Amino acid sequence: MATETTVPAAQLREQGDALALLLSLTQEVGHLPAAYLRTHRPMHGIASWIGIQLDSPQDFEQWRTALELAPPDVELRSTHDYVWLQVEGMFRGTKVLLTGFNVPLTHEQNVPQAEASAVAA
């Protein structure tokens, strides 16, 4: 007979560090453009983390600079509908995923030339 193993549900207190970081950011860099902010619950051994989503590359860059996330780590990503900037890093011990939308490129402009040739063939 198989037994079912249940994983204890994460508790709000486990998001405390991420929430405290968000609160401190409002005091320290409150002049930055408003963002879509979210905390993610701990899961699969990964601590709670923060997602910060912005509406422009300019706003993204202001936040990236304030959070001291390295420029070489920034990725340009795209789907057929969206092109965005993304960088993941650590800030004061908490994982941060920063995204900035409305990059003025099309998906086709972002696809590397070799990949575009393979798709066209």
pLDDT attached to residue 116: 42
pTM, entire model:
0.80
Residues 6+ apart with CB under 8 A from 94: 17, 18, 21, 47, 48, 49, 50
Specify the pLDDT at position 3.
Answer: 65
Question: What is the tens place of the pLDDT at every residue in 81-113?
Answer: 889 999 999 999 999 999 999 998 877 887 764
Supply 70's token pair.
Answer: 């390295």
Q: Which of 83, 80, 63, 64 has the alpha carbon at shortest distance from 72?
A: 64
Task: Report the candidate in 38, 42, 43, 45 with the shortest Cα–Cα distance to residue 19.
Answer: 38
pLDDT-based confidence at residue 114 (cuts at 50, 70, 90): very low
